[in-house]
Amino acid sequence: MSKALNIALLGNPNTGKTSVFNALTGLSQKVGNYPGITVEKKEGICKLDRTTKGHVLDLPGTYSLNASSMDESVVIELLLNRNSKDFPDVAVVVTDVENLKRNLLLFTQVKDLGIPTLLVINMADQMKRKGITLDIALLEEALDTKIAVVSTREKKGLEELKKMIIDYRQLSTAATISINTIDEAYFQNLEKIFPNQSLYKLWLVITQDVNFAKLDRKRVSDATDFKTASPSNLKRLQQKETVKRYQFINQVLKQGLNIDRAAATDLRSRFDRVLIHKFWGYVIFFVILMTIFQSIFSWSSIPQDFIDSSFASLSQILSEKLPAGVFTDLLTQGIVPGLGGIVIFIPQIAFLFLFISILEETGYMSRVVFLMDRGLRRFGLNGKSVIPLISGTACAIPAVMATRNIENWKERLITILVTPFTTCSARLPVYAILIALVIPEGSLLGLSYKGLMLMFLYLVGFGMALLAAWILSKTLDIQAKSYFIVEMPNYKLPLLKNVGITVWEKTRTFVAEAGKIILAISILLWIMASYGPGKDFNQAEQIVQQDYPELNDTDLEIKTNAYKLEHSYIGILGKTIEPVISPLGYDWKIGIALISSFAAREVFVGTLATIYSVESDSEDTIKNRMASEVRKDGSPLFNLASGISLMLFYAFAMQCMSTLAVVRKETNSWKWPMVQLFGMTLLAYLVAFSTYQILA
């Protein structure tokens, strides 16, 4: 079998490029990041015929080769670098039949680089309804290429496209326009200095240094030394190039495209009048969100309960069947629970991306972004930040993954860093037990104090997210141009294949990438909790029997486990940090719970059950035991001051290794999760300290 052809899939956002990619590759695709940067890289394998395979690279959406973002720069870098292993044998530019004029700008630029270039006119199933007719033969002659008219929804035109890709060597590489007609003197001078180089390629190298100054230019020796009077002169020439290209495109479409306005049927404007209305637009959006997250909680609880019980049963079966020993303990108490901690997130991730994918496929997500952009931009965020911020109330992990929709890197990074402030479902067990313990009965205006406290914790988390975003927007020294360009695509029924592939890829990425880190840290925490130095740990049962001879076997086991935990490495760590956390109103036992809950916030309750030597982790049992805890002076350990201090600590601290693992993957660096970990922990400490000192 011959070497796979490199196929670059290019196009404007919302032209259906991803649908074409999915139709060609199916599940034979993988998602990662480009080396050294955070831009998503999608590639897949396509079987073109019985003997030929294609390596399809789905490049980030771009309106032209005048890059202004990291996503767009990836496209330029690849097309300028013939030495890259991904450099395309053939470029396939996907266009939308309703926006041919705008889409063809990118096509003419790619073709002028001398790369064999095919044109795909997508969404052909809408031509009749929109009153559009095309003279394909005339367009092929005028654009000097082959054109595939495709409908991914009706699965039409894909086989013809594959044949055209196989015959890519027959495609003309002649330029669509003569670049030196833009400014003859300038380009004649450039050609004299670099006589053996492609003139248009030189022009792109020079102009991209102005558009996106941080790009590393090593494609053409000394090309960036070619100076003009000023950067504004280059911008002027770019504008003249764009005008020149649109003159060519207008002339082509004047003959090859016909639109019968009377035949066109368009309900989009009617829907938009309601869905992006200044009042009703927000009402409809929040109703949809409430429906989505109620569904996520109710639907995911069933598979999550099944996963939880299955892994618990697996641990029990393995502990009974395997011989006692360190390996069995590691397997049943470390590895299996660690795997369970990964798999249990899958239902929420899958359901969330199912809904997000459906909203994107229908065209509604663009309306949401438009609707929310103005308010969030004041805080340094983007309209697209609204989905991660709200979905963080379910779980921060899929919420952080959802930031991939934000093109601007600075705004995306800020959204990633502040999303964990929103109160996730894992915090609810912590809040529930502490509110029940320290908040008194009673009501205000018919609303209970306990309910108001829970609402306050949600609001303070969201408020801190906005405040932190505003501070980061002022302090982060990241050069990223921010233009609010949002495509308003037509409303359409979602393609189930696209939705399914999206859910599969996002879920698989989490399990494969973040799961490795989660499992490793789970095993580390188990080791720290299962081992300890000296006889206090190794002879725990004898010591407890000697101190408490009246205990039955069950109580003896519970007391022994609590004693071993106190003298384990993690218990010693709790004792070590006690002087640091005592000003917050906590003792060493709460210190252990804080450390243990780094694995997941909800571990707090289970840790307290062991620490306080109770037989179950039901809220009432633990609450009664916690209520009886006293300090050395006889005062209650958990009072209003220490309780609220602890709740606020959990509201602001980054107590979730799973989220850190995902942030590491999404930012392609350990720098930002560490900034998140130490920054949020310091903030949580200062707020908890101030609260306790004021209320105590």
Give the pLDDT of residue 644: 93
How does residue 661 score in pLDDT terms, banded at 50, 70 and 90? confident
Q: Which pLDDT score, from 0 to 100, does residue 569 have?
A: 87
Q: Has residue 408 got a pLDDT over 50?
A: yes
**In this structure, is residue 580 part of a structural domain?**
yes
Mean of the per-residue pLDDT values of the chain: 80
Look at residue 311 in the predicted model and tell me its pLDDT. Answer: 81
Query: Is there a domain that residue 31 lies in?
Result: yes
Interatomic CA distance for residues 79 and 66, integer angstroms:
13
Average pLDDT over residues 121-134: 81
**Cβ atoms within 10 Å, residue 546:** 9
Please state the rounded mean pLDDT for residues 39-54: 85
How does residue 532 score in pLDDT terms, banded at 50, 70 and 90? Answer: confident
Cα(617)–Cα(687) distance, integer angstroms? 28
Answer for the pair 51, 19: CB distance below 8 angstroms, yes or no. no
Average of pLDDT values for 451-479? 87
**Strand positions, DSSP E, 48-154:** 53-58, 90-96, 117-122, 132-134, 147-149
pLDDT at 271 over 90: no
Q: Lowest mean pLDDT of 465-474, 623-632, 661-670, name the range.
A: 623-632
Which residue range forms the structural domain that includes residue 605?
Answer: 515-695
Q: What is the mean pLDDT of residues 541-553?
A: 82
pLDDT at residue 226 is higher than 70 = no
pLDDT of residue 354: 85
Q: What is the largest CA-CA distance in the chain?
A: 101
Q: pLDDT value at position 180?
A: 84
Residue for token pair 């029990």: 316
**Degrees (nearest 5) of the Cα angle 150, 153, 159?**
40
Q: What's the pLDDT score for residue 470?
A: 93
Helix (H) or strand (E) segment spanning residue 121: strand 117-122
Give 606: exposed, middle or buried? Use CB within 10 Å, 0-12, 13-18, 19+: middle
| Alpha carbons 314 and 308: distance in angstroms, whole number | 10
Q: How far apart are the first and last CA of the chain?
A: 76
**Strand 117-122 relative to strand 147-149: parallel, antiparallel, unpaired?**
parallel
2 or 504: which leads in pLDDT: 504
- Identify whether 222 is part of a domain: yes
Q: Among 42-46, 148-152, 341-345, 475-479, whose mean pLDDT is lowest?
A: 341-345
Burial pattern 438-449, b for ≥16 Cβ within 10 A else e, equals bbeeeeeeeeee
CATH number for 11: 3.40.50.300
pLDDT for residue 604 is more than 50: yes
Q: Which of 139, 64, 157, 71 is nearest to 103 (CA)?
A: 64
| Beta pairing partners, 96 | 122
Q: Which of the four pLDDT bands, split at 50, 70 and 90, describes residue 651?
A: very high
The SS3 assignment for 98 reads: helix
- Average pLDDT for 491-497: 79
pLDDT at 2: 59
Q: What is the pLDDT of residue 685?
A: 95
Asked if the model's pLDDT at residue 487 lies above 70, the reply is no
Q: What number is the average pLDDT over the span 620-640?
A: 74
Range ranked top by mean pLDDT from 94-103, 158-167, 501-510, 551-560? 158-167
What pLDDT is recorded for position 54? 92
Check residue 255 and give its pLDDT: 87
Residue 594: closest CA among 583, 608, 609, 610: 608
Helix H or strand E encompassing 553: helix 553-566
**Beta strands at 90-96 and 5-11: parallel, antiparallel or unpaired:** parallel
pLDDT in tens, 68-116: 666 677 888 889 888 888 899 999 999 988 888 999 999 999 999 999 9
pLDDT for position 543: 87
Residues in the chain, overall count: 696
| pLDDT at position 229 | 42
Is pLDDT at 579 greater than 50 in this prediction? yes
pLDDT band at 1 (very low <50, low <70, confident <90, very high): very low
Q: How many CA atoms lie within 13 A of 547 on its CB side?
A: 12
By three-state DSSP, how is residue 215 classified? coil
Which residues neighbour 365 within 8 Å (Cβ) at sequence distance 6 or greater? Answer: 356, 359, 387, 405
Cβ 584 vs Cβ 688: under 8 Å:
yes
pLDDT at 647: 93
Report the alpha-carbon angle 269-107-12, nearest 5. 40
Distances (CA, A) of 656 to 116, 222, 517, 526: 49, 49, 12, 16
Is the CB of residue 336 less than 8 Å from the CB of residue 315?
A: yes
The answer for 522, left when phi > 0, alpha when psi is -120 to 50, beta otherwise, is alpha
From 475-484, 581-590, 664-673, the region with the lowest mean pLDDT: 475-484
Give the pLDDT band (50/70/90) at residue 214: very low
Q: Which residues of 13-33 are buried (b: 16+ CB within 10 A; e: fewer)?
A: bbbbbbbbbbbbbeeebebee
Burial (CB < 10 A; 0-12, 13-18, 19+), residue 260, is: exposed
Last residue of a domain, one of 212, 245, 264: 264
Per-residue pLDDT band for 517 (boundaries 50, 70, 90) equals low
Give me the pLDDT at residue 209, please.
56
137 vs 603, residue with greater confidence? 137
Long-range Cβ pairs for the range 527-530 (8 Å, 24+): 527/334, 527/569, 528/568, 528/569, 528/570, 528/573, 529/565, 529/568, 529/569, 529/570, 529/571, 529/596, 530/329, 530/333, 530/334, 530/568
Give me the pLDDT at residue 282, please.
84
Question: Where is the domain boundary, 239, 264, 289?
Answer: 264
Number of independent structural domains in the chain: 2
The whole-angstrom separation of Cα 377 and Cα 380 is: 5
| pLDDT band per the 50, 70, 90 thresholds, residue 414 | very high
- pLDDT band, residue 217 (cuts 50/70/90): very low
Residue 285, in any domain of the structure? no
Give the C-alpha separation, 363 to 16, whole Å: 11
Helix residue spans in 419-539 (DSSP H): 428-438, 449-475, 496-509, 515-530, 534-538
Is the predicted pLDDT of residue 57 greater than 80, yes or no? yes
10, pLDDT greater than 90: yes
Contact 420, 430 (CB under 8 A): no
- Residue 424 forms part of a structural domain: no
pLDDT score of 290 more than 80 = no
Nearest to 479 by CA among 70, 1, 150, 5: 70
- Condensed to tens digits (0 to 9), the pLDDT of residues 364-382 reads 877 877 787 777 888 888 7
**Is 38 within 8 Å of 664 (Cβ atoms)?**
no
User: Which helix (H) or strand (E) segment is 157 a member of?
Assistant: none
Q: Is the pTM here over 0.75, yes or no? A: no
pLDDT at 687: 96
Is a pLDDT exceeding 60 seen at residue 225? no
Is the residue at 485 inside a domain?
no
Among residues 243, 264, 285, the one where a domain terminates is: 264
One-letter amino acid for residue 581 of the chain: I
Place 674 in a pLDDT band, splitting at 50, 70 and 90.
very high
Q: 53-58 and 90-96 as β-strands: parallel, antiparallel, unpaired?
A: unpaired
